[in-house]
A and B are shown apart, each in its own frame.
Chain A
Amino acid sequence: MFGKGLFGRLDWITVILYALLVFIGWINIYSTSVGETDTSIFDFSTLYGKQLFFIGLAALGIIFVLFVESHFFERFASIFYIVSIVLLMGLFVFGKTIAGATSWYDLGFFNLQPSELAKVGTALALAKFLSDIQTDIRTGRHQLYALIIILLPALLILPQPDPGSSLIYFSLFFVLFREGFPIYYLGILIFAVVLFATTLMFGTVWVAIGLIILALLIYTFKKASVKIPVLPVLGVIIASILFSLSVNFVFENVFEQRHRDRFALWLSLEKDQKKLDEIRKTIGYNTYQSEKAIESGGFTGKGFLEGTRTKGDFVPEQHTDYIFSSVGEEWGFLGTSTVIILFSLFFLRLIYIAERQKSDFSRMYGYGVISILVFHYFINIGMVIGLLPTIGVPLPFFSYGGSGLIFFTMLLFIFLKLDSNRLKDGI
């Protein structure tokens, strides 16, 4: 398309999908924040005006990234990571508190959120570590190193407090799985989540009975030729019961009431319909409002700038974490499914690109990028449409916010830069 230069080698499908997402996101930010008297979209005192400015900054960031030598990112991956960690630690001293979370540096014209930068740093560092010729992910020691790289920033972010951002780092496990980290770990993780939820819903006793019945069923219906040793199965059952007991303990003693209420809502733990409705309208207020707004959109939506609930600010934080509810109200099912399909195509395209990389580093970094973006997308939209409990993470490219947009863009375009260079990697 653009010859053999840098622009010719850039993956334009991804770029177009990216631009579409940013554009649709901005349209919705405009809708949530436009006032009756506003005259110009370049008015930087408005949220949509600021976001436009951030889009401009992101464009500058893209140009910067594209003109940097590809190997720079691999070479300086560790530096990025160290800088990120230092910045995260610096927050404990110099951090600026917004809405109860000490997550920002005040740069005057701009509040920098280093946890966004750290995502880039961590993805780079993990790719660098794993792609090192000496690293063997099958060994326990190297698995531990990888875990430390992932968990260190997560642990630093957790006390800000920003559990949402902290949780994002766990998405990097997908990189490990892709690179040969035993996949049954994922099975164990899913099993633990299921145990956690079922324990809260039915109690330890029923969980234990269920496990035993499950084991008996397996023994009854297994083929005679398949031998399953009894002792390990027994061990799994006992471990599960102990885990289940600890879940109860953690839930009752470590969690705070607001956390318990969120789970009560999510898993419908509260059986009293009246109390449940009460929780839904207080603790679950945001989700309740966002679901209502989405529902009221119907198939075609109310139309651009016609969303009464959006205009009335009924959904709190609608321009940031709940931006998707505006899509739901004003553009309806057509709009929401279009956005879901765009995101899915975007991710699948990125996975395809990652798999075509010749350089291990590029592939691993690509996986890191995809994992982080998918995880944001999953948690954010899952929360907005009421499938997941309330966890505050932005929707990539959509949500209002400078740090988010700029670092998601950098994250993505570093990968595209690496990709544009893939043919030279073999040489």
Chain B
Amino acid sequence: MKKLLLSSVVILIGFTFIGRLSYLQLFRFSPDQILDDPAIKKVYDYPERGYIYDRDGRLLVGNQPAYDVMVIPREVKPLDTLEFCGLLGIEKSEFIAKMEKARRYSSRLPSVLVPQLSKEDYASLQEKMRHFTGFYIQKRSLRYYNTKSAANVLGYISEVNEWDLQNNPYYVAGELKGRTGIEKQYEEVLRGRKGVKHIQKDRFNRDIGPYKEGKLDTLPQQGKEIHITLDKELQEYGEKLMHGKRGGIVAIEPKSGEILAMISGPTYDPALLVGRQRSKNYSKLHYDTISKPTWDRSILAQPSPGSPFKILNALVALQEGVIDPETKIRCYHGFYVGNTLRGCHCGGGIRDLNSGIYQSCNAYFAGTFRKIFDKYETTDKGMDVWEKHMRSFGLGDFLGTDLPTGAPGRIPNKEYYDKWYGDGRWAASTIISNSIGQGEIAATPLQLANMTAAIANRGYFYTPHIIKSIGSNGQIDPKFTEPHYTTIDRKHFEPVIEGMANVYNYGTARWLKIPDIEIAGKTGTVENYIKINGERMQLTDHSVFVAFAPVENPQIALAVYIENGYYGSRYAGHIASLLIEKYIKGKITRKDLEKRMLEKTLEHEYAKPYSGEPFKINEYVW
């Protein structure tokens, strides 16, 4: 017994150890993943973010260096705090608080003390930096904007948040990511791919050399430059014209579907969302819930389109064969729905297609609308046909553009009205407002511009898009080069376009004619209401205008929507006319017209409902 005691103990210990070791190394074995091994540090090499150019190769967005002042707390030697704070432009208390924060994070690792110094601050600081041990300057790249316009299109970048980190393994805290606009849509193209170096470190986090001689390291992949379809000058000019006005403008090149301008008013300088003042500026913009500068009206606002929609009803009626261009309808300074007269401003009398369009006669289009429905035995059938035609113009649903946001608009269908009125309890006369583009129809300025492009092309459109080319080979998504045909035959467009041209020759926009350019257009004046504190108020009509030019071989199709701009030719018509001239001629000949648009604002209209006083709408004087 006593001779075996020690041997037994040795064997027992051996088995216990091997048991424990198999538990640790075989059962609980968790190989160090390169991602979470505490002994491997990943150092990233960031490629420069791709530049953004306009359609003619003019720079819109580039990069600029910014300088972060970094600190490694344990290396800091006593310093002249006052002088240092003066150089950094911060208060002493702020300095102390930031130092404390850095120390709490880690005394051995660098923290950002003051982020994003400008080049000028950096210059003055750089000379003296060597006096301040423990501090150093780290360069980083920020976006630089070569324009004060197109903030809504370009979008902005910001640091990734918790959600991004959890949902996309590519990102590491502190990296930047496109949030809206082009920056978001083409994030991966612009960003490139960061390179990574694996560094073996010790438990104090000090580097002690490359891990596995750098076998796993990767090189950064440059971000690609992209060209977008915007015309920088047109965009900038449009934004200037929008000064003091709310609304959206979209201009499209009909033969390609390329978006030439996409303007939302009010807007902001994209440079506001870069640099040290970023978050302050962002809150200011974000919390302006009345004028909503960050809400892109060109693709998100969905007002009723108003009279431009009459063109589509005319096209549908022609396609269905219920009218021909000579069909006459009488206007009684309005039209009757049952026994009530609904008004019309066209002046009354006999209207045909041409004068119906250029005088924007409500009665003519109400009659046309009825004829479409009368062709079919049931209202439901008529509605289906009408809806199908409308949707073929890209209305009532998302267009499928390459913009990260958008709105579907609305083309009502029979289910919609069955729900609203009850099955069989409505007819063409019930929904007659749709004939003149009021009622339940809604469309974004982008959809209106696209619809206009489809008319300009006499029957087809390309999905509107903002990307012109990516990188050097220039490939873009093939879905943008595929025409979408409307359900209307080509031959029906000519009489309608003639009517639209006459809008400028004899009609509602006759004083907006551009010398030497033949334009086809259509005004719109849209009644609208607002609810403030539960009280429904009618506001001054929205001013809407769609147009394309030249009539033969169109180069530009656009839609302008100005909130509370009163009748169509007033604000929207003016702006449309100026933009077309600018785009086609490159200069403005009608300086008085231009001066008026640059100076006039609608701030007084926008203030009305919030004034708390009774107010008048649709005042004629201006």
Residues of B within 8 A of A308 (CB): 32, 37, 39-40, 200, 211
Pair A312/B200 contact, Cβ less than 8 Å = yes
- Closest-CB distance, B383 to chain A (whole angstroms): 64
Pair B14/A311 contact, Cβ less than 8 Å = no
- A291 and chain B: residue at smallest CB distance: B24
Pair A295/B203 contact, Cβ less than 8 Å = no
Question: For the complex, is B25 an interface residue (Cβ under 8 Å from A)?
Answer: yes
Residues of B within 8 A of A348 (CB): 7, 10-11
Pair B24/A294 contact, Cβ less than 8 Å = yes
- Closest-CB distance, A38 to chain B (whole angstroms): 12
Pair B203/A299 contact, Cβ less than 8 Å = no
Question: For the complex, is A105 an interface residue (Cβ under 8 Å from B)?
Answer: no
Question: For the complex, is B532 an interface residue (Cβ under 8 Å from A)?
Answer: no
Pair A387/B39 contact, Cβ less than 8 Å = no
Pair A297/B25 contact, Cβ less than 8 Å = yes
Question: For the complex, is B38 an interface residue (Cβ under 8 Å from A)?
Answer: yes
- Closest-CB distance, B413 to chain A (whole angstroms): 58
The distance in angstroms between the C-alpha atoms of A351 and B40, with both chains bound, is 46
Pair B31/A298 contact, Cβ less than 8 Å = yes
Contacting residue for B5 out of A178, A333, A377, A387, CB 8 A: A178
Binds B, one of A54-62, A241-249, A367-375: A367-375
Question: For the complex, is A355 an interface residue (Cβ under 8 Å from B)?
Answer: yes
- A183 and chain B: residue at smallest CB distance: B2
Question: For the complex, is A282 an interface residue (Cβ under 8 Å from B)?
Answer: no
Pair A340/B6 contact, Cβ less than 8 Å = no
The distance in angstroms between the C-alpha atoms of A370 and B10, with both chains bound, is 10
Contacting residue for B29 out of A298, A313, A382, CB 8 A: A298
Question: For the complex, is A240 an interface residue (Cβ under 8 Å from B)?
Answer: no
- Closest-CB distance, B606 to chain A (whole angstroms): 56
Question: For the complex, is A337 an interface residue (Cβ under 8 Å from B)?
Answer: yes
Question: For the complex, is B75 an interface residue (Cβ under 8 Å from A)?
Answer: no
- A175 and chain B: residue at smallest CB distance: B6
- B11 and chain A: residue at smallest CB distance: A344
- Closest-CB distance, B316 to chain A (whole angstroms): 70
Residues of B within 8 A of A294 (CB): 21, 24-25
Pair B2/A178 contact, Cβ less than 8 Å = yes
- Closest-CB distance, A396 to chain B (whole angstroms): 13
Question: For the complex, is B28 an interface residue (Cβ under 8 Å from A)?
Answer: yes
Residues of B within 8 A of A178 (CB): 2-3, 5-6
Q: What 1/0 flags go to A336-353 for Cβ under 8 Å of B?
A: 110011011001100100
With A36-B209, A296-B32, A344-B11: A336-B203 Cβ-Cβ less than 8 Å:
no
Question: For the complex, is B100 an interface residue (Cβ under 8 Å from A)?
Answer: no
- Most-contacted residue by chain A among B16, B18, B24, B203 (CB, 10 A): B24
Q: What 1/0 flags go to A151-185 for Cβ under 8 Å of B?
A: 00000000000000000000000100110100100
- A310 and chain B: residue at smallest CB distance: B39
Question: For the complex, is B91 an interface residue (Cβ under 8 Å from A)?
Answer: no
Residues of B within 8 A of A299 (CB): 25-26, 29
Residues of B within 8 A of A183 (CB): 1-2, 5
Residues of B within 8 A of A337 (CB): 18, 21
Residues of A within 8 A of B11 (CB): 344, 348
Q: Which of B83-106 contact A (CB under 8 A)?
A: none
Interface of A is mostly: helix
Question: For the complex, is B208 an interface residue (Cβ under 8 Å from A)?
Answer: yes
The distance in angstroms between the C-alpha atoms of A183 and B8, with both chains bound, is 14
Pair A312/B201 contact, Cβ less than 8 Å = yes
Pair B31/A340 contact, Cβ less than 8 Å = no
With A332-B25, A385-B24: A371-B6 Cβ-Cβ less than 8 Å:
yes
Contacting residue for B30 out of A296, A302, A309, A374, CB 8 A: A296
Pair A378/B29 contact, Cβ less than 8 Å = no
Residues of B within 8 A of A295 (CB): 24-25, 28-30
Pair A374/B22 contact, Cβ less than 8 Å = no
Pair B6/A312 contact, Cβ less than 8 Å = no
The number of inter-chain residue pairs (CB within 8 angstroms) is 121
Question: For the complex, is B35 an interface residue (Cβ under 8 Å from A)?
Answer: no
Pair B1/A351 contact, Cβ less than 8 Å = no
Pair B39/A344 contact, Cβ less than 8 Å = no
Pair A314/B38 contact, Cβ less than 8 Å = yes
The distance in angstroms between the C-alpha atoms of A344 and B3, with both chains bound, is 16
* Size class of the A contact interface (CB-based, 8 Å): 35 or more
Contacting residue for B7 out of A302, A311, A351, CB 8 A: A351
Pair B14/A340 contact, Cβ less than 8 Å = yes
- Closest-CB distance, B310 to chain A (whole angstroms): 70
Residues of A within 8 A of B17 (CB): 340, 381-382, 385, 387
The distance in angstroms between the C-alpha atoms of A370 and B32, with both chains bound, is 38
Contacting residue for B16 out of A311, A347, A387, CB 8 A: A387
Residues of A within 8 A of B201 (CB): 312
Question: For the complex, is B423 an interface residue (Cβ under 8 Å from A)?
Answer: no
Residues of A within 8 A of B3 (CB): 178, 355
Question: For the complex, is A114 an interface residue (Cβ under 8 Å from B)?
Answer: no
- A327 and chain B: residue at smallest CB distance: B21
Question: For the complex, is B20 an interface residue (Cβ under 8 Å from A)?
Answer: yes
Question: For the complex, is B482 an interface residue (Cβ under 8 Å from A)?
Answer: no
Pair A387/B20 contact, Cβ less than 8 Å = yes
Q: What 1/0 flags go to A359-395 for Cβ under 8 Å of B?
A: 0000000010011001001100110011100000000
Question: For the complex, is B9 an interface residue (Cβ under 8 Å from A)?
Answer: yes
Question: For the complex, is A328 an interface residue (Cβ under 8 Å from B)?
Answer: yes
Pair B10/A344 contact, Cβ less than 8 Å = yes
Residues of B within 8 A of A347 (CB): 6, 10
- A302 and chain B: residue at smallest CB distance: B32
The distance in angstroms between the C-alpha atoms of A111 and B149, with both chains bound, is 76
Contacting residue for A328 out of B7, B14, B18, B21, CB 8 A: B21
Contacting residue for A311 out of B2, B22, B31, B39, CB 8 A: B39
Question: For the complex, is B159 an interface residue (Cβ under 8 Å from A)?
Answer: no
Residues of B within 8 A of A311 (CB): 39, 200, 202, 208
Residues of B within 8 A of A177 (CB): 2, 5
The distance in angstroms between the C-alpha atoms of A374 and B17, with both chains bound, is 13
With A312-B203, A333-B26: A174-B6 Cβ-Cβ less than 8 Å:
yes
The distance in angstroms between the C-alpha atoms of A174 and B5, with both chains bound, is 9
Q: Which of A296-322 contact B (CB under 8 A)?
A: 296-299, 302, 306, 308-309, 311-314, 316
The distance in angstroms between the C-alpha atoms of A381 and B25, with both chains bound, is 15
- Closest-CB distance, B12 to chain A (whole angstroms): 10
Question: For the complex, is B13 an interface residue (Cβ under 8 Å from A)?
Answer: yes
Pair A314/B203 contact, Cβ less than 8 Å = yes
Pair B6/A370 contact, Cβ less than 8 Å = yes
Pair A313/B9 contact, Cβ less than 8 Å = no
The distance in angstroms between the C-alpha atoms of A302 and B28, with both chains bound, is 16
- Closest-CB distance, A143 to chain B (whole angstroms): 16
Pair A336/B21 contact, Cβ less than 8 Å = yes
Residues of B within 8 A of A291 (CB): 24
- B10 and chain A: residue at smallest CB distance: A347
Residues of B within 8 A of A333 (CB): 21-22, 25-26
The distance in angstroms between the C-alpha atoms of A382 and B18, with both chains bound, is 11
Residues of B within 8 A of A174 (CB): 5-6, 9
Pair B10/A328 contact, Cβ less than 8 Å = no
Residues of A within 8 A of B209 (CB): 36
The distance in angstroms between the C-alpha atoms of A298 and B25, with both chains bound, is 4
Residues of B within 8 A of A378 (CB): 13
The distance in angstroms between the C-alpha atoms of A174 and B2, with both chains bound, is 9
- Most-contacted residue by chain A among B7, B30, B39 (CB, 10 A): B39
Residues of chain B having any CB pair with chain A under 8 Å: 1-3, 5-7, 9-11, 13-14, 16-18, 20-22, 24-26, 28-32, 37-40, 200-204, 208-209, 211-212
Cβ contacts A to B, 28 pairs, < 8 Å: A174-B5, A174-B6, A289-B203, A294-B21, A294-B25, A296-B37, A298-B25, A306-B212, A308-B37, A309-B38, A309-B39, A311-B200, A312-B200, A313-B203, A313-B204, A314-B202, A337-B21, A341-B14, A343-B14, A344-B10, A344-B14, A347-B6, A348-B7, A351-B6, A371-B6, A374-B10, A378-B13, A385-B20
Extra contacts besides A183-B1, A313-B203, A378-B13 (19): CB < 8 Å: A36-B209, A183-B2, A295-B28, A296-B30, A296-B32, A308-B39, A309-B38, A312-B39, A312-B202, A316-B203, A336-B21, A344-B14, A347-B6, A347-B10, A348-B10, A367-B6, A374-B6, A374-B13, A387-B20
